[in-house]
Amino acid sequence: MAESFFSMFTTAEIAKISSAGTNVTLPEGWSPIWESTPADKAYVILKGTVSVRHHGEEIAQLGPGDIMGEAALVRRSLRTASIVALTPLELIHFTDETIRRLSIEMPKFAEALEAVAAERFGDQ
């Protein structure tokens, strides 16, 4: 993905999205999302880099402005990859309920989630 998830929104929309979640910090080496587990959260990276791993192999790296964990929420499926922090992270944590609420309140948010999930799964 050439652009980050946050690059799809105006400054005011980013502020609304950001205020809906909870800011968290995670240390290097931490795995906030595990492959083959139920989808119950998503994160937007504010600072740091993560490795996206499928069956233990890195398939991508994500950084500031990128969302992670959204695809399984959108598709209502088990996680298809694990996320490992390559650096200390500053994130915005979103529950499944928060993602659903934002998707209703901001149709553009729902469209952006669908677009990212489709791109990551090659549906476009």
Domains of the chain, start order: 6-120 (2.60.120.10)
Residue 81 three-state SS: coil
Tokens of 10: 């105006």
Chain segment 1-52, per-residue pLDDT in tens: 447 899 999 999 999 999 999 999 999 999 999 999 999 999 999 999 999 9
Determine what percent of the chain is predicted with pLDDT higher than 90: 79
How crowded is residue 31: how many other Cβ atoms within 10 Å of its Cβ?
A: 14
Determine what percent of the chain is predicted with pLDDT higher than 70: 95
Confidence of residue 101 (pLDDT cuts 50, 70, 90): very high
Q: Is the pTM of this model over 0.85?
A: yes
Confirm if 74 and 118 have CB atoms less than 8 A apart. no
Mean pLDDT of the 97-105 span: 94
